[in-house]
Structure 1
Amino acid sequence: MGMVETGDDAPDFTAPIANGDIEPFTLSEHLGESPIVLAFFPGAFTSVCTEEMCTFRDEMAQFNDVGATVYGLSVDTPFSLNEFRDQYDLQFGIVSDHAKEIIDAYDVEMDFADMGYYGVAKRSVFVVDADGEITYSWVSDDPGVEPDYEAVEAAAEEAAR
């Protein structure tokens, strides 16, 4: 599987979502909430990820205005993700890709080899429209870089039309 690109169908997945509770989440069943912003991040509670998820939290109004729904994704357990949501008052659900199937399907897997930590999500953002098509994709090989939030908002607004 190569990189998922703009214009591709978003790979479907089912995984637990941390939303205060823990329940199964299947992407294709949520396309009615489109546009959907999938924000992959390497690890809960790490500084840049916290910064990023808090920025998404603070920008939620803009996404809500265009009817977009934001979901975080990481390979953390759903239990730690609920803890992360509580601690930072995040208003959106975070999908737990504990089985590492989603990062594989989206080809956004990376390793922190120097830490001996393998198979985490690259920091990346995909916008999925009502047809399940990816209309925007951004993938960083540098975990220290945050996405261009304005570009993501513009893409979500575009996909909402």
Structure 2
Amino acid sequence: MATTGDDAPDFTAPLATGDIESFTLSDRLDEAPLVLAFFPGAFTSVCTTEMCEFQDRLAAFDDLDATVYGVSRDSPFTLNEFRAQNDLEFGLISDYNKEIVDDYDVEMDFAELGVYGVAKRSVFVVDGDGEISYAWVSDDPGVEPEYDEVEQAVADAS
């Protein structure tokens, strides 16, 4: 599993910003610290709450010169609608092919629902050198990250 001190696995994926762009992690290190907030699925209750909480705290991350991105297995089209309906101002990365989930080793299943290979709720802070300076991964999809702890990790990485 990707953890603190590791080089962040690089990836290229679609980025939902209202439009759809290409996002390559290594090309965005000038925006560091980068907050990569993985979530299981758009339009679900805890995921919506989590992404809206990141939106509510966006000014604090901006003050720290950090950039927030959500990451999920949803299509970029779904993520654009999710952004619009929740007034999210940060980009959402589509890991539709499950490559990022695999590289960061944060896969989980909801077998009882027949849903496999979604992202565990997790947060990684990547510094300007491409190193993971903070990692939090939950095995319980109902648990949100400690947002103050994430902000402190960003401050420490700045």
TM band (smaller chain) = over 0.9
CA distance in 2, matches of 1:30, 1:70: 11
CA distance in 2, matches of 1:88, 1:45: 9
Q: Which runs of 4+ in 1 moved over 2 A?
A: none
Query: Separation in 1 of the partners of 2:154 and 2:51?
Result: 17
Counterpart pick for 2:19 among 17, 21, 43: 21
Task: Tell me by how many angstroms 1:154 deviates.
Answer: 0.3
Question: What one-letter code is carried by the residue in structure 2 that aligns with 1:132?
Answer: G
Q: Where in structure 2 are the equivalents of 1:1-161 lying within 5 Å?
A: 3-160=1-158
AA in 2 matched with 1:16: P
Count how many residue pairs are aligned between Structure 1 and Structure 2. 158
Tell me the distance in 1 between the aligned counterparts of 2:58 and 2:90: 9
Q: Report the Cα offset of residue 128 of structure 1.
A: 0.2
TM-score w.r.t. length of structure 2 = 1.00
Q: How many angstroms does 1:77 deviate by?
A: 0.3
In 1, the alpha carbon distance for the partners of 2:80 and 2:52 equals 14
Residue ranges of structure 1 left out of the alignment (5+ in a row):
none
The one-letter amino acid paired with 1:36 is L
Identity percentage of aligned residues: 71
In structure 1, distance between residues paired with 2:33 and 2:21: 21
The gaps in structure 2 that reach 5 residues or longer are none
- CA distance in structure 1 between the partners assigned to 2:44 and 2:114 by the alignment: 16
